Structure formats: structure tokens, C-alpha cells
Structure 1
């Protein structure tokens, strides 16, 4: 696996792969990689002949009081993870390479609708930062496809809408969330948790599972479902940021008539913000 830091080197490597008739896949990351990221790369190797991963801690998607400065930079370990997962090329640019005119002078990409509310409501400007940097990475690497994790469900929806609206010739694939044995979704931010907080963290996914069971049973209206779920999180020591049930395709608030829903949550344990989601297919048998 080769590591490059400039757009010129990236494009040269991709052009060489294309000249050999290879299909190019991209896996954008912010580094501090875990087995969930490795699963994205492995999926990309199944879909493409030449896999590019990027590591860039994007300052544009961090708010003023968020953890940009303390976000772990673990390049050597990340290179090993990517190599073992089958990555062919790592693009690890500097901020100056990504934003040569600075972030204030950077053209931005905004995706309305699906970026609003949920994480978009809690983190103003976050998804403009995400869509802008992903758009730039797409234009730099020119991939045929890209793979993203479904743990960041709203982010995946934003990227899919951006690709559709801007007629980008890129296939977007979602990879199921990778979880620890106790159900906690793997995240780079899990490393911030104390031992006590880590023991409580699986209650987030357990609450989503209980809510999904009640949705399938059809015995609870959605507002009561959310209210009870929030109470369960608080009783477990988590501080809910949001807990919502949305229609899966457009992220509009769900009704009991919707057949494909997703329960989305963000909650704090101390200062660590965890997110998770669970898709619920109600089919034709759910009661309304």
C-alpha cells in the first residue's frame, strides 16, 4: 500500500489504475481506525479493483466547542489497519492541501432537507462541512464507487442526495454498523469513555432494540415510544441529545403508516457524544 499526500499524486495513481482497466473505490475516513473502518475497506475490495482510502480530520465539520484538537491522529496504526484490509492507496492530505485558500474562502456544498434536524440540528454547519469535503474527495479521486458506514445514517443520506442532485457518476454503498459483543456501535469516540461509562454505553442500542420491537408490535404511538425510550436512556445514565423515528428514505418524521422506518439517537455519556440507529422494516403485517 502506497501513501500520498497531494492531489497530484492521488490522481496519478488513480489514472494508472484506470489505464489498467481497474474499477476504483473510495473509503473516506478521519483516521483513528477500528474494525468498522476495516469492514468498509474490505467491502470496497469486493466491489472495486483498486481501493483508495482517505484520512483527513476535516476541520470544517467540527463546531467551535467540539473535539477537533483532541481528535486522535494515529497514522502509523491506521496504515497497518488499511494494509491488512486490502487498501491499495492511502490519501492523507494536509489542511492546506484540502483548503488552499483557507476554509473561509472555500466554496461550500449544502444539501437541504436530509441534512436538517437530528445531527444537523445539534451541530449547525456540520453537514455542510461533510458534504463539502466529500465532494472535494470525489473530485480528487474520481472513484467509480464509495463506501460509507450506516452508523452515520444521516450522513449517508446526505451523501446519497448530494450525488443524486449533482449527477455525480458514483455508486454509493452503505455498510452495516459493526458492533462490539455487547451491542455498542464501534466509534473512534468510544476511546473517550471511562470504564464506568463504557459499561453503560450499550444501553443506547438496547433501547433502540426495545423501541423497534414495540414498533413492530404496533401497540405504541410514536410520541409515546420516543418518550419512553428517552426515559430509559436517562435511567441508564445517558443524556439524550435527540431520539427520533424517521421514514428511512427521506428522513421525514415517521407515521404509523410508514413501512420502512429508522430510529435514530444521539446521547451523551459525560462529554462523549454517541450516535446510533436501527432500521425497522414493518412490512405489511404491522398494525396501525
Structure 2
């Protein structure tokens, strides 16, 4: 499969597709593709005739330089994996210079309370980097719809806010988390896990499921303490945070309210590898 590397070429291909009355979907990725990414493409193809998949490791969303350096880069394997889609999928692989035009810095956004908790609290500057690169990509690709996995649920809400703030004409759609048979959420970072860590990591989803079962009969603070205790007794995983939040504004739950929907969020380390996951509670 041929990778398109210039913004002029990808826009030309997208506009040609639109001239044929095709709906164009977009799945932005950082490469190291796996079945979770393919599930996003499959969702996109259910409602779009053409789908653009971008592969770009964005330097401005890493607040840890070592994490950026170690992030897997497997473009040749990614292109081979996407080859079965043939002409339905266009692959955009821009360079840093094409995206940032020599000025590799983030725009400073105000995403309100969405960026003050969880990932925003523990990864300062992360969402500015996410917003900046997606703003560039949306303008370069000009898709009708863009698809994001709910594993990064907070990011999904940030992207919705970004589109609103930048007045972009793209519909943002969230897609269910794709999991391995043992429950571990699919992530490019999983490729860095040892066999022992791969055996331990499904504990994250196990705890989320148990938290969901306890949610109706347990207060938020009690549930937080319970999760912390479970991780404290689990070798091989270090809990960074467990939070329960309203799905609309991600404000941490202090007291349950009727007719409100909540999700539970976890970030944990397996060695030096950071894993995140979440689950709907009600």
C-alpha cells in the first residue's frame, strides 16, 4: 500500500473522493497498528466510503522525552496490515515538518474542566499537544467524520471540545474499546510489555468490572479506597489514579445524582509502561 506523505496530495485525494459523493472518514493514529485500530477503521467503513488513516507520532503530546523515544515506530508493518483494505483506505504518513512547518510547539488551549483531571493532571501539556496536532490534521485532511476509541475517553471529550472551539466541520464519533480475550484494552504500548506483565495487566479491567458491580451500593470514596487497596496488594502494577467522573464534563464524583451517567477511569504502571482504561458504570 502506498503512503501519501504531502498535505497537498492527501487533500487532493480527499476532494476527489468527495466529488464522487463519497463520505470521507478519518482515523488518526500514531502507528504501531493493532486490532484496536482496525476496529476503528471497520466502524468508519460502515458509514464512510473512503477512510483516511494517518500515522504520525506526535512529539508535542509527550511530556516525557524518554516515552517519545521508546514509542514503537513500525510504518512498514502498518502499511502491510492496511493493504487488505485496498482503495477504500488512504494512508497519510506526514513528517514532523509537514505537520508543524518547522515550528514544533503546541498551541495553548483552554479546554476548561476537561483538562484539569486525570490525564490532564498527570500529563501537563498533553492535551495541548493532542489538540494542536489534530487541529493540523483535520485541516489538512478535511474529513466528514473522525473516529476515536473510547479507551482514551478523556481525549475523546477533548477532541469534541477542540472541534467546537476551532469551528471545524467534522463529526466526532466514539467507538467501543477493543479488548484482548483476557480483557486487556488494546494499545500500542502493549507491545512493550514483558510476558509476565502481559499476564498481570488484565487485572486493570478485572478491577474496573468489579468496581462497576459495586457502584450502585458503594459510595464513590469507599470505592476509590477499595480500588487503591486492590492495587496495593497486586504485584507488578502501580496505580497512578482511579477516578469516577461524570461522562459529560468529567468532573470527579462526590455524590451520585439521579439521571447522571458515570465512568470509572484507571491509569497504572506495569514497570515503566503506563496503561489506561475505563468503563461505563451505569
TM-score bracket for this pair, using the shorter chain length: over 0.9
Q: Residue 246 of structure 1 aligns to a residue in which SS?
A: strand
Report the counterpart of residue 70 of structure 1 in structure 2: 70
Work out the number of aligned pairs and report it.
278
Does residue 233 (structure 1) correspond to residue 231 (structure 2)? The answer is yes
Give the conservation status (yes or no) of the 8 Å contact 1:24–1:51.
yes
Give the whole-Å Cα distance in 2 for the aligned partners of 1:263 and 1:220.
13
TM-score (ref. length: structure 2): 0.94
1:170 and 2:164 correspond = no
User: 2:247 — aligned with what?
Assistant: 248
Partner of 1:11: helix, strand, or coil?
A: helix
Q: Please give the TM-score of this superposition, normalised by the length of structure 1.
A: 0.92
Q: Deviations over 1:134-170 (max 9, x none)?
A: 1111101111000000000100010011112333221
Show CA shifts across 1:203-229 (max 9, x none).
1010011111011xx321101101111
**Does residue 57 of structure 2 align to residue 57 of structure 1?**
yes
Q: How many angstroms apart in 2 are the aligned matches of 1:95 and 1:261?
A: 37
Deviating more after overlay: 258-267 vs 243-252: 258-267
| Residue aligned with 2:91, SS | strand
The separation in 2 between residues aligned to 1:18 and 1:209, in whole angstroms, is: 43
TM-aligned CA distance change 1:107 to 1:119, over 3 Å: closer
The whole-number CA distance in structure 1 between the counterparts of 2:257 and 2:207 is: 22
Q: Which runs of 5+ in 1 are unaligned?
A: 282-288
In structure 2, distance between residues paired with 1:227 and 1:66: 32
The separation in 2 between residues aligned to 1:269 and 1:226, in whole angstroms, is 20
**Cα distance between partner residues in 1 of 2:72 and 2:107:** 27
Aligned pairs for 1:30-41 (under 5 A) are 30-41=30-41
CA distance in 2, matches of 1:66, 1:126: 15
Asked whether 1:188 is paired with 2:185, we answer no
Structure with higher helix content: 2
Contact 2:151 2:277 in 1 (8 A): yes
Which position in structure 2 is the counterpart of 1:100?
A: 101
In the TM superposition, residue 235 of structure 1 has moved relative to its aligned partner by: 1.5
1:110 Cα offset (Å):
4.2
Deviation at 1:101, TM superposition (A): 2.8
Structural RMSD (CA): 1.5
Q: Which moved more, 1:107-116 or 1:255-264?
A: 107-116
Gaps of 5+ in 2: none
Match of 1:271 in 2: 272
